[in-house]
Structure 1
Amino acid sequence: MKSITLALAGLITTVAALYPGDIVQYWNYKTLYTVNTTLSGPHSSYIGAFVHTAILAAAEEAERQPRSVQQLAVSYAAHDALHRHFYAQYQSIDSYLREIEDAVGDAANAQQSNTARRIGEAAAAKVAKARADDGMTTYVRYEFKPPAVGVYQPTPPGFPFPSAQNTRYAKPFGGIKSLPVWKGPPDVKSRDYEAYLKQVKEKGAKNNSTRTDDETEIGYYWMGSPVFYWNNFATQIIGDSTADNILESAQFYAKLNWAMFNAAIMGFTAKNKYDAWRPVTALHWEKPFLRSGRSYYTPDWEPLLPTPGHQEYLSGHSVFAASAAAIIRRQIGGDSFGKLVRVTIEPGAGPFPFMTRRFTSLSQMVKENGDSRVFVGAHFLFACEEGNAAGEKSAELVWKRGAKNYL
């Protein structure tokens, strides 16, 4: 098989500048770089969706303009959208825009530059107005429930309050009016629960684990921000296929980030609705609770990596991955890449300075991503499997609606 190497930046290895091949990809990368220094989870996917909505609005308005005007218009829109959320990084964000202005140079005269600026600034302002009361600033106070079987409790080492309580109030992107509330996790006394518990106890333990070396590598490989990973995966997979059509590129990246944020709403709404305990809590529960009467009480059990600070079900990594993969799959017209894809990352922690995995399909990537959460001891497999299904549903809703009437 022919192979290609995909090199990702930030948490991932260096990426060459994508402009002038695809101006939307340029701003996608700059947005990821800006967000990756400060945010994670639903908030990082929200910024991506916001910025790409502004880019799409500008691309639509500038579609009949010369290419230089289109490039400048989406750049002014992206700049203003980023600036609204990251004012403290204004110098960097301004420099990104200056880079595009300098690159376009004489391709756009003064009148065209003014037209582009008017279009881009108006697009960002329109999106900001449409999202002014979208629920992302809603404060929700969380109270831990008394310890009980299956109920979320603060987890070591930081024992944090669960994050992203407000997502159930958040307005979806892409013109989607409402999202399904996902079904709950299996009951702890169900026939299958013991197998899930046994699996994560054995595969996700920091010490005395039955993980293979490959499974350990998978755990570390996928540990970073899924929003960052999957936007970069998307860019590398579609390559320069949309470079000559700014509007098509804008539509693709908007749908990609809409699907991920909407999936985050579904995932974190489920987390807060069902308030399900993490594996570390289940394995530290002293009294038997399983249908079989067996006890898996292991007071010294630790996960391979620290447990994230929010509830177990649904898996956030899984909803992000499956929603992104489903959009990419529809964009390229299939699940398989038709060739071996080698992706090298720098995870930023763990025993591996650089890691390379080899893939032939999106479904393989999604499965590895979900399995990784078991291998690091963060999730039961059912949270990943159902997270994958929820992410696929989010993408289906976005793709079916298309990039129309999205504000």
Structure 2
Amino acid sequence: MKPSRSALLSLGSALVLSATVALPSAAQAAPAPVHADGGAVVREWYDITAQTVAAAGAPTQVTNSRTWAIGWIAAARAGREAPGGRDRAAFQDAAVASAVHDALVDLAPSRTAVLDAALAETLRRIPDGRAEERGLAAGARQAKLALADRRGDGLDPASVNAPFTVPAAAPGVWQPTPDGYAPAAQYGNRVAKPFLLDSPDQYRIGPPPALDSRRYRADLAEVRAYGAADSTVRTARQTETAAFWYGSSLTLYTEPLRVAVTRSQGSAAERAALVGLFHAALVDTQIATSDSKYAYTRWRPVTAIRTGAIAPDRTWTPLHQTPAHPDYPSGHNTYSGAAEVILDALAGPRTAPFALTSPTAPGVRRTYTSWEQLTRDNVDARIFSGIHTRSADEAGVTLGKAVGRHALSNAGALLAPLG
């Protein structure tokens, strides 16, 4: 089935790319000539990027998001250098493959042999000639410049997990949580260099509900009832939702973004721009999340329920182990909020049904038809897991959407070729 007509990449105040009709998945298909459709090379290198990150990625999610962003921003920039005319597609295909290859070799050197073989296979199917040669050179140049631009940006694992001095225990104040009582994670994100934000605190959200407020009491009562390991009110479907969305947001959103890219009818450069902008926005979202988290250092539900003033229960245990950073806002939900905004703008708010699986819920397949449905499930999942309050989840969505809109408004500067 051919994709529906989409694709307008306007680089100035916004970037728009839309598509609506399903294409068969390329994941199981044999390699086709790269010009059989405009997205073959993009899909190939999308999957190669996902495989590279899975095999040789960093232990910190934001570092892996950075890897995606650097390679695909370079690819979009290189593709934009293509001249007009019939050789434009060959130039862009070579540019995308070259840029992503070179970025991945630099950021995941243990995969060099695999990446070199993949590039040779892609180039074998691009017509030889000046367009291919110029595309290769453009990709290599833009990858080198993009890598240089991000050196020392504070998104390496050691910087991301910079030491945090835990404040003295007090009502509402974050403390390490059971079972492991691990030290705080992701504190260093809040001083990392964003891709597009002016500063990490540019969209810092307002404070969480006061401990004596009606909203706080409602939040705590909800997570106490629905998020307990031994909950008697949480349904089987709700338990499944919690498990499904418990894993890495980067992992869980890899397939939805691939769906959007596959169903687009844009050029290779336009599809690369979708991937690059998505991940740049999500890096910035994770930076902004840590800024707000550590500005407010709000305690997690398990600490509030076990030690707080409202019906303390020292035996209460959440369904899932609590991550080692403050409650407010929820990182999963800032991620989903930003992803929703980017995908709504670039792929349209609704799409033909697509199936999604999760490594934290083996055997479960869920079907979605809009990006907003992913956000809604994320909000509920963190409550059903017992690890976030609804206020933290909803604040996360608000923050993520703000960062996503900022990325869309500033896409032109991000994707303009360097050098």
What band does the TM-score fall into relative to the shorter chain?
0.7 to 0.9
Which residue number corresponds to residue 376 of structure 2? 367
Structure 2 unaligned runs (5+)? 1-20
Q: Residue 323 in 1 paired to residue 335 in 2?
A: no
Shift of 1:126: 0.8
Query: Structure 1 residues 329 and 63 mapped into 2: Cα distance closer, same or farther (>3 Å)?
Result: farther
Which residue number corresponds to residue 291 of structure 1? none
Q: Residue 192 in 1 paired to residue 215 in 2?
A: yes
Q: Residue 146 in 1 paired to residue 158 in 2?
A: no
CA distance in 2, matches of 1:259, 1:142: 25
CA distance in 1, matches of 2:227, 2:22: 31
Which residue number corresponds to residue 177 of structure 1? 198
Shift of 1:16: 5.2
Aligned with residue 108 of structure 2, among 83, 86, 98: 86
Structure 1 vs Structure 2: percent identity of aligned residues?
A: 27
Query: Structure 1 residues 209 and 261 mapped into 2: Cα distance closer, same or farther (>3 Å)?
Result: farther
Which residue number corresponds to residue 13 of structure 2? none
Contact 2:43 2:262 in 1 (8 A): no
Shift of 1:171: 2.0
CA distance in 1, matches of 2:25, 2:125: 24
Shift of 1:81: 1.0
Q: Residue 118 in 1 paired to residue 137 in 2?
A: yes
Aligned with residue 162 of structure 1, among 177, 184, 187: 184
Q: What does residue range 67-82 of structure 1 map to in structure 2 within 5 Å?
A: 67-82=89-104
CA distance in 1, matches of 2:232, 2:221: 11
**Where do 4+ consecutive residues of structure 1 move more than 6 Å?**
3-8
Q: Residue 382 in 1 paired to residue 391 in 2?
A: yes
Which residue number corresponds to residue 273 of structure 1? 295
- SS of the residue aligned with 1:404? helix
Letter in 2 for 1:167: N
Shift of 1:5: 11
Aligned with residue 284 of structure 1, among 284, 297, 306: 306
Shift of 1:342: 4.3
Shift of 1:257: 1.2
Which residue number corresponds to residue 348 of structure 1? 359
Q: Residue 311 in 1 paired to residue 322 in 2?
A: no
Which residue number corresponds to residue 230 of structure 1? 253
Which residue number corresponds to residue 258 of structure 1? 280
CA distance in 2, matches of 1:250, 1:31: 12
Query: Structure 1 residues 5 and 209 mapped into 2: Cα distance closer, same or farther (>3 Å)?
Result: farther
Letter in 2 for 1:190: S
CA distance in 2, matches of 1:194, 1:5: 47
**CA shift digits 1:220-263 (9 cap, x unpaired):** 11122212222320221453323x51121122112211211111
Letter in 1 for 2:388: H
Q: Residue 50 in 1 paired to residue 76 in 2?
A: no
Length, aligned pairs only: 382
Q: Residue 25 in 1 paired to residue 43 in 2?
A: yes
Aligned with residue 239 of structure 1, among 262, 269, 282: 262
How high is the TM-score relative to the length of structure 2?
0.83
- SS of the residue aligned with 1:29? helix
Alignment RMSD (CA, Å): 2.6
- SS of the residue aligned with 1:360? strand
- SS of the residue aligned with 1:61? coil
CA distance in 2, matches of 1:276, 1:393: 21
CA distance in 1, matches of 2:408, 2:379: 23
Contact 1:184 1:274 in 2 (8 A): yes
Shift of 1:96: 2.8
